[in-house]
Amino acid sequence: MESEKGTLPMNEVYNPGMNVYSEIYRKSLEDPENFWAKQAEILTWYSKWNKILDDSKKPFYRWFVGGKLNVSYNAVDRHLEQHRRNKAAYIWVGENGEEKIVTYDGLYRRINNLAKALLNLGIKKGDRIVLYLPMIIEAPVAMLAAARIGAVFSFVFAGFGAGALAERINDSKAVLLITADGGFRNGKVVELKKIADEALEMTSTVRNVIVIKHARNDVNMVEDRDIWYHEIVGDSHTYVEPEHMDANDPLFILYTSGTTGKPKGAVHSTGGYSVWVASTLKWAFNPDEDDRWWCAADIGWITGHSYIVFAPLILGLTSIMYEGSITYPEPDRLWEIIEKYRVNILYTSPTAIRTLMKFGEKYPQRHDLSTLKVLGTVGEPINPAAWKWYYEIIGNSRCPIIDTYWQTETGGFMIAPQRGLGLPPLKPGSATFPLPGVDPAILDDAGKEVRTGEKGYIVFRRPWPGMLMTVNNDDERYVKTYFSKFPGYYYCGDYAVKDEDGYYWLLGRSDEVMNVSGHRLGTIEIEDAIVATGLAVEAAVFGKPDPVKGEAISAFVVPKDANADRHELISEIRKRIRADLGPIYVPDEIRIVKLLPKTRSGKIMRRVVKAVALNQIPGDLTTLEDSTSVDEIKSAIEAFK
Ligand code: WTA
C-alpha cells in the first residue's frame, strides 16, 4: 500500500471487471422492473408477482406484489433436490471446542419437526414468536420453522437483559417464547431461562415457553407454560407443508435502537428481503459453491439474520457458526477455527479486528490462514490501521476487504465493494460503491446535495427490495424517522462524504445513536434506564471515542440522594443496567454530578456535556433559548470538575 489512505496496487485485488459493475448498476436504476424481475429468480416462487414495485402508498413501498413463496422452502427444501442433501449447511463450533455438522437434510428434518411442534401448540400464521437464544443450531432452526408456518419471529439477542426482553415481547405481542437453559460466554454460563422468567413477569401475552437444553444449568420449569424442546421435537421424519406466504407478509421483526428511549421494531418482508440478502451476498462476496463462509456475528443482530441464516442458506452455502467469545480461551480463537475448518471467507467487525490486533501478530501467525480468499467487515467505519492489519496480517495481502455499509433497516448491504461484479481498487476506510438498485445522495441541512469532498447526511433516493416495511405497530414513527428529515428520501442517520473518484466514505452517526463495539445503542435508551433505577433524577449519556470499541459509553448522572456514597451508587447503577438492558449497555464510565446543562425547554444538552467531558469547546452556547441556562451549563461544568 502506498499510504494508509492510498489505493491498493491494482494487480493484487483489482478486477478489471469493474465495467461489469457499472453496466449492471446502470441497468438497475434505468430499468428496475426488468432488473428485479430477473434478479428475483434467485428464489423459487410458488407464483410470480403481478407488480415488481407498488409505490402508490409512499413511503410504504411494496415489492413483488402478489408473489407467493416460502423462505424455509427456499433455504432448505429446494437444496435437497439440487444435490445439496448431504452438504453441510452449518459447521457449528462451541466455545468448549465441541463440534456439530448439520447437513441440509439435517436442517430440513429439524425445521419440519419443530414446525410440527409449533402447530401442535396452536401457533398459527401471523402469530408472533420471540426467540431468545444463544448461537446454537436451534436458532436458525427456530427462525426457519417459524417462517415455514408463517409465524413472525422476533429474535432478541442473548446479551439483552430482562427489561429489554420484556419490552420486545410486549411490543411484538408474542404468544410463544423459545429460549435455552443457558449459553456459553467466556467459559461461563449465561442463564437465559432465568432471565426469561424475570422478563415474563413483566409480560402477559406469552402462552408457552419452549426451552432448549444446551448449557445444562438448572432451570425452573413453570407447569402448563414451559416445555422442553427435546420432549416436543421428535427425531422422526415429519413433513409440514410450507405456507404459501405473500411476498409482503412479514418475515420477522428486529428491534433496533433509535433516537428515543423505545427501540423500534423493524419489520422485514418475506419476498423483497430474501431477494435482497441473497443477491447482495452474491454481489459483494461472490462465494463459490464449495466455499466455507463465516459470518462471525451473532444471530441476534441483523448481520446474523441476513448473513448467517437467510442469505447463505438461500444460496446453499456452508457456514461456520461459533458460539462464544473470540478471545476465549485465547485470542487466537478465530484463527484457530479458520485453520481447522479451512474457512475461505471471513466476515467480521472492525471492533473484533481491533480487539485481536491488540494481542499482536503472534496469534494469527500460529495458524495457517492460507485458505482465506476474501475478508469482510461491518458495523462501523473501519479505521485504516485496522484495515491494514486485516489485509496484511490476516489476508496475507491477497484478500480483498469487503467493507459493507448497511443497517438493520436496510436488510442487507447498501454500499460495498462487489467482488461478484468486479472489484474497484480498494481504499482503506471507504465502503466504495452502492449495490445495484441503491441510489445514494449526500445532502446538507437544507436538503441540497453537497459538493464532492464535503460531508453531509447520506440518504437513499429510491426504495430497494430489502428495506423495512414499517416500524412494528407504529407506521407514523416509520415515516417520521426515515422519511421526514428529507421528504421522499430514506434518511440513514449517518454522515458521509463522496470523494473525487466517486467513492463513499461513511463517517459515523449524525444522531443520538452510539456505535459501541459495532453495537448500535441509543443514548436516550440508557438515560431512561438509569433514571428508571430510581437512583438518579437525570442522566446524560454519550459516546466517548475509544480505540478498540469505537465508542465507549459515558454517563453523567445526577443522583436522587445527593449524599449517597458515589462508589456504591455507581456500582448499583451498573448492576441494574446490566440486569435490565444487558451487559452491552453498561456504561464504561459513570460520573456523578450535581446538575446537567439544559435548554429552557428542559432538554438535556448532551452535546455540551460531551464537549466538556472531552475537553472540547462546547460550541455555540448563545443559541440557547434562555440565557440563564448558560449559567446552568457553567455551573454544571464546574460540577464535572
Ligand atoms: C454503522 C449493522 C460505516 C452505521 C449492519 C449504521 C457502518 C449502523 C458500517 C447500523 C460500515 C454499519 N461503515 N458505518 N461498513 N456498517 N455501520 O443497524 O452507523 O446494527 O447506521 O446494522 O452501523 O447498525 P445496525
Ligand 1 touching residue 318 (CB < 6 A):
no
Q: Over 60: is that where the pLDDT of 24 sits? A: yes
Measured CA to CA in angstroms, residue 250 lies from 125, 171, 337, 492, 530 at distances of 10, 15, 35, 22, 34
How many angstroms is it from 373 CA to the middle of ligand 1? 24
Sheet with 374-378, strands from edge to edge, namely 99-103, 88-93, 318-322, 292-295, 345-348, 374-378, 401-404
* Atom 13 of ligand 1: nearest residue by CA position: 381
Protein residue with its CA nearest to atom 24 in ligand 1: 407
The predicted structure's pLDDT at residue 598:
77
Q: Is the model's pLDDT at 14 over the cut of 60?
A: no
- pLDDT of 34 > 50? The answer is yes
Q: Which residues contact 118 (CB under 8 A, 6 or more apart)?
A: 129, 145, 146, 149, 151, 176
In percent, how much of the chain has pLDDT > 90?
A: 86
For residues 285-294, give the mean pLDDT.
97
Banded pLDDT at 600 (limits 50, 70, 90): low
Of all protein residues, the one whose alpha carbon is nearest to atom 25 of ligand 1 is: 407
Least confident of 376-390, 522-536, 602-616: 602-616
User: Which residues are registered as beta bridge partners of 65?
Assistant: 51
Task: Look at residue 569 in the predicted model and tell me its pLDDT.
Answer: 95
Q: Is 381 in the pocket of ligand 1 (CB under 6 A)?
A: yes
Q: How far apart are CA 603 and CA 80, in angstroms?
A: 58
C-alpha cell of 596?
A: 446537567
521 beta partners:
514
The three three-digit cell numbers of residue 370, written as one number: 492460507
Find out whether 111 and 144 touch, Cβ atoms under 8 Å: yes
637 Cα: distance to centroid of ligand 1 (angstroms): 33
Mutate to test the pocket of ligand 1, among 378, 510, 584 (most ligand atoms within 8 A of CB): 378
- pLDDT given at position 358: 93
Q: For position 495, what pLDDT does the model report?
A: 96
Ligand 1 pocket member 457 (CB < 6 A): no
Atom of ligand 1 nearest to the CA of 416: 15
283 vs 24, 63, 288, 461, 498, CA distance in Å? Answer: 11, 20, 12, 21, 22
379 lines ligand 1 (CB under 6 A): yes
Helices marked H in 269-328 — which ranges? Answer: 271-285, 302-304, 311-315
Reported ipTM: 0.99
Query: What is the distance in A from the centroid of ligand 1 to the CA of 341?
Result: 28
Nearest ligand 1 atom to the CA of 382 is 13
The pLDDT value recorded for residue 5 is 41
pLDDT in tens, 457-515: 999 999 999 999 999 999 999 999 999 999 999 999 999 999 999 999 999 999 889 99
Going by pLDDT thresholds of 50, 70 and 90, the confidence category of residue 632 is low
What's the pLDDT tens digit per position in 308-333? 999 999 999 999 999 999 999 999 99
pLDDT at 3: 37
pLDDT in tens, 337-374: 999 999 999 999 999 999 999 999 999 999 999 999 99
pLDDT at residue 94 greater than cutoff 60? yes
**Residue with C-alpha cell 434506564?**
529
List pLDDT tens digits, range 227-268.
999 999 987 889 999 999 999 999 999 999 887 778 999 999
Cα–ligand 1 centroid distance for 457 (angstroms): 14
Q: pLDDT (tens digit, 9 = 90+) per residue, 195-206?
A: 999 999 999 999
421 touches ligand 1 (CB under 6 Å): no
Determine the distance separating the centroid of ligand 1 and the alpha carbon of 407, expressed in angstroms. Answer: 5
Q: Would you place residue 12 in the very low, low, confident or very high pLDDT band (cuts 50, 70, 90)? A: very low
Task: Give the pLDDT mean for 540-555.
Answer: 94
| pLDDT top residue among 71 and 603 | 71
Average pLDDT, the chain: 93
For 164-209, the pLDDT digits (tens) are 999 999 999 999 999 999 999 999 999 999 999 999 999 999 999 9
- More confident of the two residues 163 and 4: 163
Give residue 392's pLDDT: 97
* Torsion, CA 342, CA 348, CA 353, CA 359, rounded to 10: -50
Q: What's the pLDDT score for residue 2? A: 35
Q: Is residue 13's pLDDT more than 60? A: no
What does the block give as the cell for 275? 431477494
Q: What is the pLDDT of residue 386?
A: 95
What average pLDDT does the segment 121-130 reach?
98
For residue 9, is the peptide bond before it cis, meaning its omega torsion is within 30 degrees of 0? no
Whether residue 329 has a cis bond before it, omega within 30° of 0: yes
Q: What is the pLDDT of residue 633?
A: 53
Q: What is the pLDDT of residue 8?
A: 44
Structure letter (DSSP) for residue 407? -
CB 176 within 8 A of CB 121: yes
Q: In 362-471, where does DSSP find H-type helix?
A: 362-365, 384-389
Q: Is pLDDT above 50 for 1?
A: no
Ligand 1: does its nearest atom lie under 6 Å from the Cβ of 431? yes
pLDDT value, residue 602: 72
Q: Is the CB of 506 under 6 A from ligand 1?
A: yes
Query: For residue 118, is pLDDT > 60?
Result: yes
